[in-house]
Amino acid sequence: MHFCLVLRCPSVGGSADLCNDTDKRKTNHPAWRTPMKFPTRSLTITATLSAAVLSAAAAAGDTAPQRKAGLWEITTVAPVSGMTTRKVCVGENDDIIRPEGADCTEPKLTPLNEGVIVTIECSGTNGKQIISSTFTGDFETRYHGTLKTTFDPPIGAISRMGVNIDGKYLGPDCPPDMTADGQ
């Protein structure tokens, strides 16, 4: 399965579809790997919104699917932090489509031959974000996401940031000290 996610920000003039035909076919397209330096704050925003779109990106129909409940290992690669790996406990009602602390519209799902386009507008304390993502995987055992975030307004001098995410299902049982929201 292959998916494309597009978020729109009306304050930048409507559609901000950053997922072209090449991006839809190649998750490692060079445009997604532009090396840039970013403040840590922008990685936090991107990681939060990235988590919010993971389920939506796997959608093949009219509803956003859920990652399989249980323990996942999430590896994130970003210019500001390099590679980080953490374990996340996902609950039965994995509603990660709306990030905490952000005001988002209902997602618009547009099926494609190879997947789906998910359109959503989010705003938070730092302004609005536009995220264009390509996801692959079954979301039962694994997934891969390549995300490009545009900040409006920019955070400092940073207006764009790229992140790669890989998720691997570790099993149904979460450690006793970890809740279903990953804490």
Q: Any idea which residue has 């925003």 for tokens?
A: 45
Enumerate the domain spans of the chain. 2-171
Dihedral over Cα of 93, 96, 97, 102: its sign: positive
Dihedral over Cα of 170, 98, 25, 1: its sign: positive
* pLDDT, tens digit (0-9, with 9 covering 90-100), for 8-62: 333 333 333 333 333 333 333 333 333 333 344 444 444 444 444 444 444 344 5
**146 in Cβ contact with 26 (< 8 Å):** no
CA separation for the pair 80, 161 (Å, rounded): 9
* pLDDT, tens digit (0-9, with 9 covering 90-100), for 68-123: 999 999 999 998 889 999 999 998 877 555 555 567 777 767 666 655 566 677 88
Task: Output 97 or 152, whichever has higher pLDDT.
Answer: 152
Its pTM stands at 0.61
How much is the pLDDT for 9? Answer: 33
Structure tokens at 79: 């210019």
